[in-house]
Structure 1
Amino acid sequence: MNLNDDFNDNFDDNALNNQQADQFADLDDGGAAYPEERPSRRRSGLNMPRLSLGSLTANPLLLAGIAFVLGLLLGWFGIGWGIWPITWTDAAAADLRADLRQEWLRMTIDSYTLTQDGTAFSTRLGSLEDKLAEEYQKVVTDPRGLNQNALQQVGVVVGSGGQVVAPVATNPDTGQADPNAAAPDAGAEGGTPYTLILVSCAITLVLGGALVFMYLRTIGRSRNRAGGPAPQTHAQAARQYTDQIEQTDFTALGQAAPVAQWMTTFLIGDDLFDDSFSIDAAAGEFLGECGLGIADTIGVGDPKRVTAFEVWLFDKNDIQTVTKVIMSSHVYNDSATRDRLSAKGEPVLARPGAEAILETETLQMVARVVDMAYGTGALPSESFFERVTLELAVWQK
């Protein structure tokens, strides 16, 4: 071995020592040097509702609301803007741009100067509605060669408060002025599209309400024919069963009150059973998580025959998740199955009052079997659970 080999060996050893020192420094700083140890497969403590076709049909109001929003978006953006966009036609002079309203007034005055048609003059002035006085002042400022007599006639109309009266109404038979001729309605020419829009919206709302009413009535009839509302799911029945069980009052037993405490129940048929809870201090600080899930089953087919549960505790200040396995009597006494499940955690025989104690760096949890019942059938006796209720209580060390 030469001098270069000695130098390379020493360099490799120093690099390895530095890498290990960095890892331990992360642990001292409170960092998560082993982020993979956190049970990422666990659900959070908040059980978010899952939307499914069954839940939508069971809640007709929610379904109607979703259908209304989708229909509104489809009609507004898809049909109203894409397939059949609105085309504005026959707008009144009052709805034009300001410069075009002024041009309209100038053309009206020019036309009256040439034709002396007082009826048309009155009608065209009336189409400007409440914009007449404003546009008249602008045209007076910039007349552009308009006939002053006709311009003064417009001033008379404006001075009368905007009431349009035909200055010269002519008789089509004699061509003479006809003082008895009535001025036409100012809104006779043109119109506004707002009325059409309001009518369309009203019709849409009426049709939508009728469809919702028919749907709700159909759902009600189908429920009546079926003999009542849809049955509860296994998870809903389990929650209802859990609510009837009173939690342990540890202070009455002379013990300190736990920082967190829950009840959870498994009923056969809940094949997706997996409860998890967030452990928070009184001040709201996150301390860790805990939970309970299916560890093993027996037999084939549905529903699953659960023989063991995995209860676990995660501490944010610990690098490992502590796990214990609560087993049925048949599994606990079967050495092969018990040894296989022991790889997940320490085995605990399930019986009423049995406790599994899990400890981490800063937390201690007691999982107690409050109530349980075995299922019956062709499988071995006391091999799978019909019902299990556990109480989880967590203390800070």
Structure 2
Amino acid sequence: MEYIDRIGRANLIKGVVVFLVGLAIGLIIGWGLWPVQYYDTDPQDLRRSHKEAWVLMVADSYSLNQDDEAAQERLQGFEESEVGEIISSLIVGAEEEGDLPAAQRLRDLAGAAGITLPGALPEATPTPAPVARGPSILRSLGIVLVLFLLVALVVVGGGVALAHWRERRERAPLRPAPKEELISWEVPEEAPLGQFVTTYTLGDDGYDTSFNIETPAGEFYGACGVGFSEVIGEGAPDKITAFEVWLFDKTDASNVQTVTKVLMSEHAYGDEALREKMNDRGEAVLVERGKTITIEAVGLQLRAQIVDFAYGVSPDLPPNSFFERLTTELTPRMRQEA
């Protein structure tokens, strides 16, 4: 209490009043004039249509890699009842459209994730979102008043506690300062800017896919994709022996980049002349199931995972020389500084 007497009770009251006035101004600005806007939300916080799109994507990915753990991880955060209702609704819609394979993929996903589906729904009727209504002026003033009282109690109590602490500290003997220790901090990984799955099948001549890379606010950062790079043999259909996976980065307008790596079949990768030919297009990588390829540009990073693939067979061509199927998962994110 001697500390409070030294600084003066009037000065303490002035400090509390100034603090409360500043808090009131901050609440008015933060709640009314410039409320918080949310970006980079998790899938479970999206609107209903986007949640359905996410579940469909997870089902398609699971049908390709059959990875139960990956499917469960991608559905973490959802309430089991909610994701079960979403899957049931999507199954009904797929069956009504005659897309039975899609309905089966959704059922397989539910089984892998351990989700119990509710009874069959006659029709998926979206529930209209409730209209958010602002609190009345009296209610807002009441909330602010309660906050003022709570903060005032905290400040006064904190002042008393601080006075006692300072008094004990002045009486306590000095202790040697502890030695400084180096602390290493792990930089968290940037959240993905998207996740795309693309599949090539034999006969898709001129295969070339691309996906825009944008922020949740719609700002365009670049693009990524997969396309054919080299064919082998003659005649239709084209027999692709190498693909290009690429990343276009325009995060720095003064240094726009496109970085490419070449995914090669076993035969092409072992052909020194063909590998030398591919050097001008990008680093040569042997296609292996489950392999992850990382591409880095000035501000973006792309992780391309080989989810699944199969070689074609032809009596006129060497074994393992061209692809019958190739599925690739692309995950772009901001590049972390070393």
Radius of gyration: which is bigger?
1
- TM > 0.5 between the two? no
TM-score using structure 1 length = 0.37
Higher RCO, Cα 8 Å, sep 6+ = 2
